[in-house]
């Protein structure tokens, strides 16, 4: 009896299990049938998203090749023929300004240099004229301003705040307002404004600088559409850190490295993008950084920016205390 009893229980348990499995499969098939429309819709959305991302990657890769590789292979544009024989370069005795002025002079463009030091202006003007056999002139004025080191907004003096606004916004507007009518009359010319990658996303501890550069970037892009039909090309350069005296507060950023090019290296790349892109970091490695930076969530960008700026600030304060 006990053997039959156990066997009977086993048979009953087996039947219950089979029934449960059958019901589950039936339930699954019914759910799948009723949700098939939604599954197909989700598949279409997923396919569309994948294609969109692939096309974006292809377009960005093509843009990088077009901007940074093709000009080196097929030759650069004739700047004098397309935009004119004279160029005005601000902040032209050091860093990017000086390097960009030299790149223009290499291509036969006469240069009007603007900076705050008359002695440096005379020396750079003479050097460019003798080296590249072009005409040069200069005007004494201050068109460049940056933090001594990254700092909190309330630590900045009122003079620093006003200087940042006046130099990076007001002066840039006035300079463009002076030179643009002549370009419109001749129906050719180019305006290159050096903004900053700090305009890519909110950058703590470079708050007023980043905001003023965001204005310059917006101003340049809008101006491009306003005057492109009149033969004027307006470009906004948005570089990341470049190893110049402006970032001498840090031993890391002031030395040339893989992602921190020298001013000369940067200018040689940036000038080849003139006429090809209205907004670009100007340097292929910075283009990769900028593309990634734009796609980061804002809080991640802000966290990394603040972490990096705190390190530079600490290093600058330590050096200052010695």
- Give me the active site residues, please: 209
**216, 231 Cβ separation under 8 angstroms:** no
**210, 202 Cβ separation under 8 angstroms:** yes
**56, 71 Cβ separation under 8 angstroms:** no
Which pairing describes strands 279-280 and 232-237: parallel, antiparallel, or unpaired? parallel
Task: Give, in order, the Cα–Cα distances in Å from 312 to each of 183, 229, 244, 253, 318.
Answer: 42, 44, 15, 9, 10
Task: Give, in order, the Cα–Cα distances in Å from 67 to each of 195, 232, 247.
Answer: 18, 19, 27
């Amino acid at each position: 009896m006990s053997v039959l009893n156990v066997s009977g229980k086993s048979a009953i348990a087996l039947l219950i299990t089979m029934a449960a499995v059958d019901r589950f499969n039936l339930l699954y098939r019914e759910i799948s049938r009723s949700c098939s429309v939604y599954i197909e819709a989700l598949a279409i959305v997923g396919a569309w998203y994948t294609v969109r991302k692939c096309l974006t990657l292809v377009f960005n890769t093509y843009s990088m090749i077009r901007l940074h590789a093709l000009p080196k292979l097929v030759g650069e544009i004739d700047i004098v023929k397309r935009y004119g024989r004279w160029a005005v370069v601000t902040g032209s005795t050091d860093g990017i300004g000086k390097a960009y002025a030299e790149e223009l002079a290499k291509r036969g463009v006469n240069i009007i240099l603007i900076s705050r030091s008359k002695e440096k202006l005379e020396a750079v003007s003479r050097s460019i004229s003798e080296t590249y056999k072009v005409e040069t002139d200069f005007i004494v004025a201050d068109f460049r301003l940056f933090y001594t080191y990254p700092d909190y907004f309330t630590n900045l003096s009122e003079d620093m705040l006003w200087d940042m606004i006046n130099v990076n916004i007001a002066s840039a507007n006035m300079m463009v307002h002076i030179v643009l009518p002549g370009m419109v009359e001749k129906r050719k010319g180019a305006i290159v404004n050096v903004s900053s990658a700090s305009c890519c996303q909110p950058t703590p501890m470079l708050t007023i600088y980043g905001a003023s550069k965001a204005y310059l970037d917006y101003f340049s892009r809008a101006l491009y559409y306003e005057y492109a039909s009149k033969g004027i090309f307006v470009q906004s350069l948005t570089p990341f850190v470049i190893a110049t005296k402006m970032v001498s507060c840090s031993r890391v950023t002031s030395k040339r490295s893989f992602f921190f090019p020298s001013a000369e290296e940067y200018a040689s790349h940036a000038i080849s993008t003139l006429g090809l892109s209205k907004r670009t970091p100007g340097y292929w490695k910075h283009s990769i950084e900028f593309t990634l930076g734009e796609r980061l969530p804002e809080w991640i960008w802000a966290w990394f920016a603040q972490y990096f700026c705190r390190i530079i600030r600490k290093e600058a304060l330590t050096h200052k205390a010695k």
